[in-house]
Amino acid sequence: MPELPEVETVVRTVAPRLLGREIRRARFYSRLVLRGDAARTAARLRSRRIQAVRRHGKFIVIELSGGLTLTIHLGMTGGLLWNAEPGPHARAVFDLDSGCLVYNDPRQFGRIELGTSLPERAARLGPDALAVGADEFAARLATRKGHIKPLLLNQAFLRGLGNIYADESLFDAGIHPLASAARLGPARVRRLYAAIQKVLRAAVEAGGSSVSDYVDADGRAGSFQVRHHVYGRAGEPCPRCGTPIRRIVVNQRGTHYCPRCQRA
DNA sequence: ATCTATTCCTGGCTGC
DNA sequence: TGCAGCCAGGAATAGA
């Protein structure tokens, strides 16, 4: 499932291919994935040149000539494939003056939208998890009620973390997922901040995690899943203390932690 | 304002 | 072997 490291990897693999290219034709095959009218969106995209490709949290932002912004969110199973043959799950195809980009998404939780700026839902998010400073992180945390795990998943609090990296960060910091966010205390807040930075940077370096079927734009799987300490490892021994990893459900999300290393 | 539950989707897995 | 039923979860939405 694409979170910050996976989206970052997709952007890095796709950006060099896209920069400076012109969109010849865009085709959309899913009314769910595309926000807006397919024919009108395709017409607006025609002959636009790609000026920038960047990541905004888990969003892929493609800046086009004429002041247009194409925003892609991969949802759960979305993926961008460079020069791939469109398969049964291709929801959009962008033919360029050189090469083509296929948006693939079996479950159709992803979204593609075209506008003159970042869509509101992307613009109103919290600071990027890899760009936020330690002091800002601590200040934002101090005012929040509720449990720490759901807060880390809240993109309005911090953008980029998803279920895998929230669990891995909490394990690294030794914090229970149901710990009260506001009552963590300065030492644990610093540990959590450092853990998030460490886990995300290592995951980006590994090309992300491939747990279901995530691959980058060249079809390459990431390798960070072999370094998951708790995510998807319920019942397996904790790599730190050997206690079996526990799986609970927090706000409808599978949550993995070590009951000994992460005390309530 | 902030937090929580529900809903959308379908491939893959489990168990009968 | 076949198939019904369940599970995964990012984020919009509605409700508390």
Q: What pTM did the predictor assign?
A: 0.94
What gap in Å lies between CA A81 and CA A102, rounded to an integer?
Answer: 5
The percentage of residues in chain A with a pLDDT greater than 90, rounded to a whole number, is 77
What confidence score (pLDDT) does residue A212 get?
Answer: 67
Residues near strand C (C-beta below 7 A) are A 1, 3, 57-58, 73, 75-76, 107, 109, 121, 153, 155, 162-164, 252-254
Protein CA at A17 to nucleotide C1' at B3, angstroms: 42
pLDDT tens for each residue of A150-164: 999 999 999 999 999
pLDDT band for A178, please (50, 70, 90 cuts).
very high
Residues 6+ apart with CB under 8 A from A83: A99, A100
Predicted local confidence at residue A221, as pLDDT: 87
A177 among known catalytic residues? no
CA of A41 vs C1' of C14, distance in Å? 30
Strand, coil or helix: what is A181? helix
**Cβ–Cβ under 8 Å, residues A32 and A112:** no
Query: Taking a C-beta distance cutoff of 8 angstroms, is the pair A124, A156 a contact?
Result: yes
Active site residue: A140, A253, A259, A260, which one? Answer: A253
Is residue A2 among the annotated active site residues?
A: yes
| pLDDT > 70 in chain A, percent | 100
Query: Residue A253 catalytic?
Result: yes
Q: Annotated catalytic, A3?
A: yes
- What is the CA angle A138-A139-A140, rounded to 5? 95
What does the pLDDT look like over A188-240, one tens digit per residue?
999 999 999 999 999 999 888 887 678 888 888 888 888 899 998 998 999 99
Q: Which residues contact A187 (CB under 8 A, 6 or more apart)?
A: none
pLDDT of residue A220: 86
